[in-house]
Amino acid sequence: MAAVLLAGCSEQETAVKEPSAPPAYPMYDTANIHNEKNWNISNVHDPSILKDGDTYYIYSTDVKVGGSSTPGIMVRKSKDLISWDWVGYAFDGIPAEAKEWTGATNLWAPEIEKLGDTYYLYYSASTFGSNTSYIGVATSSSPEGPWTDQGEVVKTSGADEPNAIDPNIVTDADGKPWFVFGSFFGGIYVSPLDEKTGKLAESGYGTKIAKRSQAMEQGAVEGPYVVYNPEQKKYYLFVSYDSLSSDYNVRVGRSDSITGPYLDANGRNMLDDKYEAQFEIGNKLIGGYRFSEGEGWMSPGHNSVLQDGNDYYLVHHARPEQDSNWMYLHVRKMLWTQDGWPVVSPERYDGETVQKIPKGSIAGEWEQIVHEKLIDGQVDSEPLTLLKNGKIGSGEEKDYWEFDGDHTITLFWHDADGAVIAKETALLLPAWDWELNKPTLVFTGLNEQGTAVWGKQISRGAKK
């Protein structure tokens, strides 16, 4: 359901469909720490998403705030990507072969894919800081199981090998499946998949497509997820940089080939671990952030991507700043810039749709967030005033904004001499303000450095 509001005194004939209030899931819900059926979006880490018919499924790492987790891969489902219900665990414990190889006490980073009539559920087993790791796969005729373990897909041990965790299945432009995996040690790899078995079609690890210098958080690049966008005719590699508990952030590069090279908006290769400014590589889509009011978020990352018809969504976890022991599911609307890069909404998804925005609804008081690549942790919002006359700020500066008449806004920033020093092009979208609990207008885009630029309208209307 959506509220239909009229926007702008001069454009009241244009209706904007804004989302209605989402379910009020409580934060820090200590009353339900041991009640899995009421976890909803709580205790979600490393989410993998599948749409089956009219139902969405999330499979996620075994975690639990306030106690030991139950091993077995958590499963939740939804009809709208907003309200989530508990299904149960895919497995009764850790498959024997995986446990014997790794000594794991829980399962990590699952991946779900349907190949033909069979559902393939991939799971990771390891221990923290080790690359004695194992990816296995189980099969079922239903996304809710029961699951039959089919054993090893790939396993690793030793400092010179990749790390066999974080699986992802991607179908290429010709309809052939590929297997993407890796984390920290050795980087990210892609290899052909046998769709009859759900296992590797070739021996070895495949082709390396991303890596970071060991000096950067011990080479912290993980959680790979590749999607093919047929409209752009390109493959997009999403990865998470840095520490999952403090400064996780999502980066992306793209390629004409599934095996790379994957380049960012500045032409830097995601595989380049020699470039001295490692933090600059990859378009930064989202990192920790805080608007001026409401809960801030830390360590958003380890995403999957849902392609639902022509709509795309980034699905990831994040930790609230007041107590980062908790972790929650976030689903965000993904849009595409004119030059073919993905960007995501500053607010979690609540049923909003891309639509024409009346110009009269744009002017007002905003907050802006720039996810600077160098920032290690959270970034705070800054106030932004968009005046009705197209000026930015008090109107005395030379900074101004332009609107294309549909849903794209461009902000021009100048130096003291009046020269343009920055240009930010962003896409406007109605959204639910989860911090202030009301409908609002947001924008999302990339600046010329390949860094996410967000805006959220706090109040509508301006003096000039």
Q: How far apart are CA 57 and CA 44, in angstroms?
A: 12
Average pLDDT value for the chain: 94
Strand partners, 122: 111, 137
Look at 227-236, 366-375, 419-428 and tell me which has the smallest mean pLDDT.
419-428
CA angle, 58 then 64 then 67, to 5°:
160
CA angle, 141 then 147 then 150, to 5°:
100
pLDDT at 3 over 80: no
To the query of whether residue 222 is one of the catalytic residues in this protein, the response is: yes
Q: What is the pLDDT of residue 158?
A: 84
- Which H/E stretch holds residue 4? strand 2-6
Give burial (CB, 10 Å; 0-12/13-18/19+) of 150: middle
In this structure, are residues 185 and 161 in contact, taking their beta carbons and an 8 Å threshold?
yes
In this structure, are residues 74 and 43 in contact, taking their beta carbons and an 8 Å threshold?
yes
Q: How far apart are CA 112 and CA 127, in angstroms?
A: 22
What would the pLDDT profile of 169-213 be if each residue is shown by its tens digit? Answer: 999 999 999 999 999 888 999 999 999 999 999 999 999 999 999
Q: How far apart are CA 94 and CA 105, in angstroms?
A: 8
Q: What is the pLDDT of residue 4?
A: 44
For the chain, percent of residues with pLDDT exceeding 90? 87
Q: Summarize the confidence of residues 1-7 as an average pLDDT.
A: 42
pLDDT at 6 over 70: no
Q: Summarize the confidence of residues 222-241 as an average pLDDT.
A: 97
Q: Summarize the confidence of residues 272-283 as an average pLDDT.
A: 93
pLDDT at 112 over 90: yes
To the query of whether residue 46 is one of the catalytic residues in this protein, the response is: yes
Q: Summarize the confidence of residues 433-449 as an average pLDDT.
A: 95
Among candidate residues 46, 195, 264, 350, the one labeled active-site is 46
pLDDT at 47 over 70: yes
447 or 178: which leads in pLDDT: 178
What would the pLDDT profile of 170-181 be if each residue is shown by its tens digit? Answer: 999 999 999 999
Q: How far apart are CA 281 and CA 214, in angstroms?
A: 15
Q: What is the pLDDT of residue 11?
A: 43
pLDDT band for position 217 (cuts 50, 70, 90): low
Q: What is the pLDDT of residue 464?
A: 61
How remote is the C-alpha of 205 from its chain's centroid? Answer: 25
In this structure, are residues 77 and 83 in contact, taking their beta carbons and an 8 Å threshold?
no
Look at 36-40, 127-131, 145-149, 256-260 and tell me which has the smallest mean pLDDT.
127-131
Dihedral angle at the C-alpha atoms of 248, 254, 257, 262, nearest 10 degrees? -60
Q: Return the half-sphere exposure (C-beta side, CA atoms, 13 A cut-off) of residue 270.
A: 32
pTM listed for this prediction? 0.95
pLDDT band for position 267 (cuts 50, 70, 90): very high
Q: What is the pLDDT of residue 108?
A: 98
Identity of the residue numbered 271: L
Strand order in the sheet with 382-386: 382-386, 364-370, 452-460, 438-446, 420-433, 408-414, 400-403
Query: For residue 400, how many other CB atoms are within 10 A of its CB?
Result: 19
Among candidate residues 222, 264, 352, 424, the one labeled active-site is 222
Q: How many residues does the chain have?
A: 464
**Domain annotation for the chain: domains and CATH numbers:** 37-344 (2.115.10.20)
